[in-house]
Chains A and B, each alone.
Chain A
Amino acid sequence: MSWEPVIGLEIHIHLKTRTKMFCRCEVAYLEPENTRTCPVCLAHPGSLPVPNAKAIEWTIKLGLALDCEIAEHAVFHRKNYFYPDNPKGYQISQYDEPLCLNGRLVVPGPEGDARVGIVRAHLEEDAAKNVHTGTAEGRISGASATLVDFNRAGTPLVEIVTQPDLRSADQARRFLQLLRRTVVELGISDAEMEKGSLRFDVNVSVRPEGSEELRTRTELKNLNSFAFAARAIEREVERQIGIYDSGGEVEQETLHFDPTAESAPPLRSKEEAQDYRYLPEPDLVPLEPPRELVDRVRAELPELPGERVRRLAAELGHDLAGDLVTSGRDRLYERISGDDRRAVANVLMNQFAVSGVDPGAVDADELATLIAARSRIPRDRFLEALAASGDPGFSAETYLGDGLVADTAELEPIVERILAANPGQVEAYRGGKEGLLGFFVGQVMKATQGKADPRVVNELVRAKLSSS
């Protein structure tokens, strides 16, 4: 029996508006507790919500980038539940009339484009932050109190729900990377997991390959990176297949991962279906996005990352193209001339990436020159040059030196060839005739038509002769 994974994602993204979703407190990261609050986000008696126009516009922008229909009539709903981080006792969210519906994100891949359906994207507010404190009284476990900070309460969130169209852990990872890149390029969110501005849960089930059925799914929560998520998905898929193969049934469960302990097995819980008692928010009137607004936002959309991946895949293959785009280096790549495209891409993804230089600060022509000459520069000088490539007035020329080949990786095989071809002289050198060093260096220089850097050759020959 051959199985295929059936994977869906639920992603939450913080919009980086200046103010909160329903009040005009400034959204701020890492401010002292409860310094960004007001009667509205503290849910004082009598307070009322006032929606953030920018958050609405940016949700429409995201919806359009995901090819969604923008609702003609959208409504906010109350989602009722009790928890200390939920000051009103309800969250203002959207239920059956969300702002964006029925879209798709196309994830280019080596197996072809994967069209991942987007069920909906809607606007809601984030909860406050709970800090569970321990006890000093020698109790074994359990917090002694919960401390609540309402600075985050009310931050605008967009929730995106996909169809269960993802068919592998790797595809899920690439989807998340592409979605993240899209969101960042739209300028609506930093989408950084470490900062909490992007969070996601995964729904996983399996089914016989080729069938259309949807079997019981489990939910994976609290995954703290795309890579970790891919591994967790793979393990869960294997686990489920194992269960079906041995004649069992997969149970509906939620797996809570520990973001600080990757190898720790997840806690399993059967979460009771919650009755949220949704009702249309009586304190807010409906949204009917004007056509001119939607048209303007659509016209302002940049060329999206997915399209660029597809374009670059033709010359670089999907993996390299995908990496370039999702890491934000493809614009720079396109500005760097040079015949060896793969070389350019590889440098950008490896040595340049490590340098930490901002791609936007780089003079593409200088970097092109540097990359083309890289085999003629000692490795550490090349890295030094890359690290400076973002500085104003950077010139590749100053790092090129005399154009001699100094790359030990290139010269080593030549040295070895010369030594192997002259065993008698090697033995004589090792016997004490150190003057023969010049002979070997000369042979290497002849073999490289004088292009090798003699100092580097000298060191290499010495090293090779003293070893063995």
Chain B
Amino acid sequence: MAISRDEVLRVARLARLELTEDEVERFTEQLSAILEAVAKVSELDLSEVEPTAHPLELVNAWAEDEPRPSISVEDALANAPDREAGFFKVPPA
């Protein structure tokens, strides 16, 4: 297996996914197959090659420090699953 069950659990925890036992088994198998396939990239010796972070060679894209209107509190909270007054409300952190 290219990825172990423990690794799958570690990665699921990092990604905040609560997997069922069935999912853990299924994904371990599928991710192993996928990882084996993508590991192909390591066949190439690219020590002299620069990575491409952006397809276009742009630099220095920024904006002046001029304010634009914020959205209303109502719009900000419009889709909130839970709220209290003007705050977003979540279970304790």
Asked if A26 contacts B63 (CB within 8 A), the reply is no
Label chain A's interface by main secondary structure. loop
Task: State A42–B60 Cα separation when bound (angstroms).
Answer: 24
The answer to whether A280 and B53 touch (CB under 8 A), given A24-B63, A145-B84, is yes
Task: Name the segment of A283-291, A383-391, A450-458, A459-467 touching the other chain.
Answer: A283-291
Asked if B93 contacts A83 (CB within 8 A), the reply is yes
A-side contacts of B72, CB under 8 Å? 35
Specify the chain A residue showing the minimal Cβ separation from B68: A24
A316 within 8 A of B: no
Asked if B87 contacts A285 (CB within 8 A), the reply is no
A82 within 8 A of B: yes
Task: State A284–B58 Cα separation when bound (angstroms).
Answer: 9
CB-contact partner of A56 in B54, B62, B91, under 8 A: B62
Q: How far is the CB of B57 from chain A (nearest CB, A)?
A: 8
B61 within 8 A of A: yes
| CB-based A-B contact count at 8 angstroms | 118
A-side contacts of B53, CB under 8 Å? 75, 280, 282, 286
- Within B53-93, which residues are at the interface with A (CB < 8 Å)? 53-54, 56, 58-68, 70-73, 76-77, 84-93
B-side contacts of A145, CB under 8 Å? 84, 89-92
- Within A100-135, which residues are at the interface with B (CB < 8 Å)? 130-132
Q: How far is the CB of A20 from chain B (nearest CB, A)?
A: 9
A143 within 8 A of B: yes
The answer to whether A34 and B73 touch (CB under 8 A), given A145-B89, A148-B90, is yes
Q: How far is the CB of B83 from chain A (nearest CB, A)?
A: 9
B-side contacts of A346, CB under 8 Å? none
A39 within 8 A of B: yes
Asked if B93 contacts A147 (CB within 8 A), the reply is no
CB-contact partner of A39 in B71, B77, B87, under 8 A: B71
Chain B residues engaging chain A, CB cutoff 8 angstroms = 14, 16, 53-54, 56, 58-68, 70-73, 76-77, 84-93
Chain A residues engaging chain B, CB cutoff 8 angstroms = 17-19, 23-26, 32-39, 42, 50-56, 75, 82-84, 130-132, 142-150, 275, 277, 280, 282, 284-290
